[in-house]
Amino acid sequence: MLTAYPYLFSNTRTECLDKEIKSFPLSDTSIIKKKNITFYTKSNYKKMKSLLYLITVLGALYACNPTAKQKNEQAPEKNPVENKTDYIYEATYLDQFEMGNLENVFLVQKMHELILSKKFDEVYSLFSDSVVFRNADGSTTEGIAAVKEVMETVYSKLTFENYRVGVNLAVTGDNGDEWVLLWDGVDILSPDGKRTSELYVEAFMIVDGKIVLMNQFAKPSL
């Protein structure tokens, strides 16, 4: 049975295809060219060789087609920011995030490590001068001087135990703001011997490698 595969080529594509065919070891294959039409014939082709042969021809077609390459090179890149989600309730601040800088997570973790070990002199360098803490009890601590006062008069008298972290997540909003979202918990022993266990949800805004804002929410651990 005679098998034929007709293809139309320009002279340039035919030359390029010839190079590909010569490199493919088919002993009883003949090539017949006439008026820019190339036929490949072979007697008693096995199905596997026929399939491999066709794959080689198609590969040569793509390699010899500069137009296809140019189209691929000129294809515009998709902008992920354009793929916005239509939420039921529109956010007033921002509602589009992407994964952020992991160094910001280490910054927040370092802050907790220093506070838990009461190395307050070292922790202050992690805050901006205008840092703001919006605390879980509704109070606000503004400025590095106020933070130092809280650390040295309140935190220094507490004992922290069993600190644990549920979630560490660094995100960047489509407005460029960088945040670390943290779920954590700790057991607190006060000077009068009272023990409490608290769970926190905290959001830290990071600017130029410094903590500038903390929003904190808390509830007793069950």
- Host H or E run for residue 67: helix 66-74
pLDDT string in tens for the chain (222-residue length): 434 433 333 444 445 444 544 444 444 444 444 444 444 444 444 555 555 555 555 555 455 555 544 544 554 554 444 566 788 988 888 878 899 999 999 999 999 999 999 999 999 999 999 999 999 999 999 999 999 999 999 999 999 999 999 999 999 998 999 999 999 999 999 999 999 999 999 999 999 999 999 999 999 986
Gap between the Cα atoms of 109 and 102, Å rounded: 11
In angstroms, the Cα distances linking 171 to 9, 84, 95, 180 are 53, 17, 12, 6
How far apart (Å, rounded) are the C-alpha atoms in residues 140 and 134? 5
pLDDT of residue 97: 87
Per DSSP, the three-state class of 25 is coil
Nearest in space to 99 (alpha carbons), one of 210, 201, 204, 173: 173
For residue 5, count other CB atoms closer than 10 A to its CB: 13
Non-local CB neighbours of 21 within 8 Å, separated by 6+ positions: 29, 31, 40, 56, 57, 60
99 neighbors 180 (Cβ within 8 angstroms):
no
Could you tell me the strand order of the sheet in which 140-142 lies? 97-99, 159-173, 178-189, 195-207, 210-220, 127-134, 140-142
Q: Are 150 and 166 in contact (CB under 8 A)?
A: no
120 token code pair: 């307050």
DSSP state at residue 89: S
